[in-house]
Amino acid sequence: MNKYIITPLLLCCLALPAMADTVELQDNHPERHVVVKGDTLWGISAKFLKDPWQWPKVWRMNREQIKNPHRIYPGDVVVLDMSSGDPQLRLLSENTVTLEPTVREEALEKAAIPTIQPNVISPFLTQPLVINNDELNSAPMIVSGPDNRLVLAPGTNIYVSRVDEGDGRQWHIYRPGKVLIDPDTKAVLGTEAVYLGDARVKKFGAPATVEVIRAKEEIFKQDRLVPAPDTLQNSFVPRAPFNEVTGRILTVHGGVAEVGANSIVSINLGTADGMEEGHVLAIKRTGKLVQMPSGNRREYKPYRWPENKNKPYDWSTGAYVTSTETPESAKKAGEKLDPSLIKLPNERIGLLMIFRTFERVSYALVMQASDPINVLDMVETP
Delimit the domains of the chain by residue range. Answer: 4-113, 121-227, 246-286+347-380, 289-343
Q: Give the pLDDT of residue 211.
A: 95
Alpha-carbon dihedral sign for residues 292, 297, 300, 306: positive
Residues 69-116: tens digit of each pLDDT: 778 888 889 998 888 888 888 887 544 443 444 444 444 446 788 888
Q: Give the pLDDT of residue 302.
A: 46
Count the neighbouring beta carbons within 10 Å of the beta carbon of residue 291: 10
Q: Give the pLDDT of residue 121.
A: 79
User: Which residue from 198, 196, 178 is spatially nearest to 188, judged by alpha carbons?
Assistant: 178
Q: Give the pLDDT of residue 21.
A: 62
The rounded distance, in Å, linking the Cα atoms of 81 and 87 is: 6
Give per-residue burial for 107-126: e unless 16+ CB within 10 Å, then b: eeeeebbbbbeeeebeebbe
Q: Give the pLDDT of residue 319.
A: 54
Domain 246-286+347-380 = CATH 2.60.120 = no
3-state secondary structure of 58: helix
Q: Give the pLDDT of residue 102.
A: 43
Q: Contact 355/365 with Cβ under 8 angstroms?
A: yes
Q: Give the pLDDT of residue 133.
A: 61
Sheet containing strand 319-320, edge to edge, reads 303-304, 313-314, 319-320
The rounded distance, in Å, linking the Cα atoms of 50 and 28 is: 10
Given a cut of 70, the residues of the chain with pLDDT beneath it are: 1-21, 93-110, 126, 133, 231-234, 294-340
pTM over cut 0.85: no
Q: Give the pLDDT of residue 232.
A: 62
Q: Contact 56/66 with Cβ under 8 angstroms?
A: yes
Q: Give the pLDDT of residue 294.
A: 63
Helices of type H across the chain: 41-48, 55-58, 63-67, 118-126, 297-300, 328-332
Give 16-24 contacts, CB < 8 A, sequence gap 24+.
16/56, 16/57, 16/60, 16/61, 16/62, 16/63, 17/242, 19/54, 19/57, 19/240, 21/51, 21/54, 21/240, 23/49, 23/51, 23/54, 23/57, 23/58, 23/86, 23/87, 24/49, 24/50, 24/51
